[in-house]
Amino acid sequence: MKSILFASLFALTASTALAMENQKTVCSQGISQRIIEIVYPGEGEAPCEVHYTKDTGSQVLWSAQQEVGYCEEKAAAFIEKQRGWGWQCETAIEITIDITE
């Protein structure tokens, strides 16, 4: 059974390309929400963008073309600022799978 499962997983991963995992943090205070998201438009850690969304709209706060870790550092500092202002924040990882043959 293990060999069948392993073969199936190998076949699946052989025909898929995993993009960098987006990181999404939702901060809540009462009924209000703020979303801080690190978006990777390519397949690596750079380029990246930090998106900030609240009820009045969305904007890109920071971006980097080649500096690995820049967006993660900026987002982490901004999330801590939100917590300092009394927001409750939870982070989730979003995995994007591109199935190609």
Torsion angle, CA of 95/31/82/25, rounded to 10 degrees? 0
pLDDT at 73 over 80: yes
CA 98 to chain centre: 16
**Separation between Cα atoms, residue 19 and residue 76, nearest integer Å:** 21
Q: Mean of the pLDDT values across residues 22-47?
A: 93
Following DSSP, what letter does each residue of 16-68 receive, concatenated?
Answer: EEEPPPEEEEEEEETTEEEEEEEE-SSSSS-SEEEEEEETTEEEEEEEESS-T
Confidence of residue 61 (pLDDT cuts 50, 70, 90): very high
H or E element, residue 88: strand 88-94
Amino acid letter, 6: F
pTM of the model: 0.72
Q: What is the structure's pLDDT at 66?
A: 92
**Percent share of the chain, pLDDT over 90:** 62
